[in-house]
């Protein structure tokens, strides 16, 4: 019997946890905490989860721990009760290279502890799973310098052992059927990311403003949930682009979400951070062409040798879309949909079985 522990049960973490458990019916029990206060989750969730596991009365063979928890602390608490349990940490992100918000109350220099929790979690795990090669390699590229920043006993000798037990397990995605609706000649542009700073909505909407000012016709679908902390640019865009907007905000249902995504032609991506890219792949599965920066996880997910014409040069997103609008090229629509299907839940299950069973 497996246990899956998700301390931040929201957004992509919830999406993955639910999909993982559903892929292995009857073999996995899910334990969750609410998706808020991520720093406190990294400090305290292990204690809460240890109590949950004990109260469940189960003796778990394998315990999968999401990366916003302290696996080392959890192991110390579980060892007397479940000494044979295998511990697996799944890294949705890593705090060594996660971009910090300028609005964060604590400067990054005071938050080295969160990166250290990631390191010790991987250190004590039987397997450390990352959601992409980019996530894994960026973690290890930053790790030695991070450990050397400490005054002594820097632990760099542990890196090789951690690397050897680190593997990649891509998340699954829910694929979206292509739209059968007849499309007009107006370019339909999609945003379906979180409304947060790390997705760089400022660059996205500044590009939309420039398209409008240049007289380039387009329509806009903006999906996602508005929160009290959402960047101000979303309110500005809702007003400035009111004549272009088809939909703006949270879809009433998942069916409505799929319909709106499939309606679109292109999805310009501006993210400062992406360790995988679920929302990009969902849209790609519906034949929406991602317009991508050549960095982060995107060259791994969409190999440039096949999809090179979908990548734009840094700082040149407006130029790319302007040129595309003048001469639309949808020749890769089928191939991009096929590529996305490679990451569906059936593929995920086969890959997870190879690594965990």
Helices 112-124 and 38-56 meet at what angle, rounded to 10? 30
SS3 of 302, please?
Answer: coil
User: Do 146 and 115 contact (CB within 8 A), yes or no?
Assistant: yes
**What is the predicted pLDDT for the residue at 182?**
54
- Please write the tens of the pLDDT for every residue from 331-347: 999 999 999 999 999 99
Superfamily of domain 187-341: Glycogen Phosphorylase B; (3.40.50.2000)
Q: Quick check: 110 pLDDT over 70?
A: no
pLDDT class of 103 with cuts at 50, 70, 90: low
**What is the predicted pLDDT for the residue at 16?**
98
Domain with CATH 3.40.50.2000 in the chain: 2-169, 187-341
- Please write the tens of the pLDDT for every residue from 163-193: 999 999 999 999 999 886 656 789 999 999 9
Residue range 2-169 forms a domain whose CATH class is alpha beta
Q: Quick check: 218 pLDDT over 60?
A: yes
Residue in 92, 97, 99 with CA at minimum distance from that of residue 121: 92
- Please write the tens of the pLDDT for every residue from 29-78: 999 999 999 999 999 999 999 999 999 999 999 999 999 999 999 999 99
CA–CA distances in Å: residue 141 to residues 123, 134, 269: 16, 10, 25
User: Do 89 and 25 contact (CB within 8 A), yes or no?
Assistant: no
Q: What is the C-alpha to C-alpha distance for residues 118 and 38, in angstroms, rounded to an integer?
A: 13
Provide the percentage of residues in the chain whose pLDDT is more than 90: 91
SS3 of 229, please?
Answer: coil
């Amino acid at each position: 019997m497996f246990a899956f522990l998700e301390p931040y049960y929201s957004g992509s973490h919830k999406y993955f946890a639910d999909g993982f458990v559903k892929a292995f019916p009857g073999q996995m029990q899910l334990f969750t905490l609410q998706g808020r206060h991520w720093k406190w989750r990294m400090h305290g969730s292990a204690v809460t989860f240890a109590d949950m596991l004990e109260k469940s009365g189960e003796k778990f063979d394998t315990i999968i721990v999401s990366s916003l928890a302290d696996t080392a602390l959890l192991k110390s608490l579980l060892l007397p009760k479940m000494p044979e349990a295998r511990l697996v940490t799944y890294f949705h992100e890593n705090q060594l290279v996660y971009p910090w918000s300028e609005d964060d109350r604590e400067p990054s220099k005071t938050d080295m502890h969160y990166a250290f929790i990631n390191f010790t979690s991987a250190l004590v795990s039987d397997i450390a799973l990352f959601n992409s090669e980019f996530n894994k390699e960026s973690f290890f590229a930053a790790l030695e310098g991070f450990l050397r920043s400490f005054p002594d006993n820097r632990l760099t000798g542990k890196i090789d052992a951690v690397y050897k037990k680190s593997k990649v397990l891509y998340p699954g995605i829910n694929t979206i059927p292509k739209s059968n609706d007849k499309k007009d000649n107006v370019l339909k542009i999609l945003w379906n990311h979180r409304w947060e700073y790390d997705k760089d909505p400022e660059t996205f909407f500044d590009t939309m403003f420039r398209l409008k000012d240049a007289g380039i016709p387009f329509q806009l679908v903006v999906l996602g949930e508005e929160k009290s902390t959402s960047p101000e640019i979303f309110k500005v865009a809702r007003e400035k682009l009111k004549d272009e907007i088809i939909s703006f905000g949270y879809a009433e249902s998942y069916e409505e979400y799929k319909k709106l995504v499939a309606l679109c032609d292109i999805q310009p991506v501006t993210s400062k951070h992406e360790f995988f890219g679920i929302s990009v792949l969902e849209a790609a599965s519906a034949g929406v062409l991602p317009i991508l920066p050549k960095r982060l996880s995107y060259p791994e997910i969409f190999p440039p040798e096949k999809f090179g014409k979908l990548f734009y040069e840094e700082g040149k997103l407006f130029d790319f879309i302007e040129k595309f609008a003048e001469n639309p090229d949808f020749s890769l629509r089928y191939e991009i949909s096929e590529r996305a299907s490679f990451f569906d839940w059936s593929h995920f299950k086969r890959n997870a079985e190879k690594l965990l069973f």
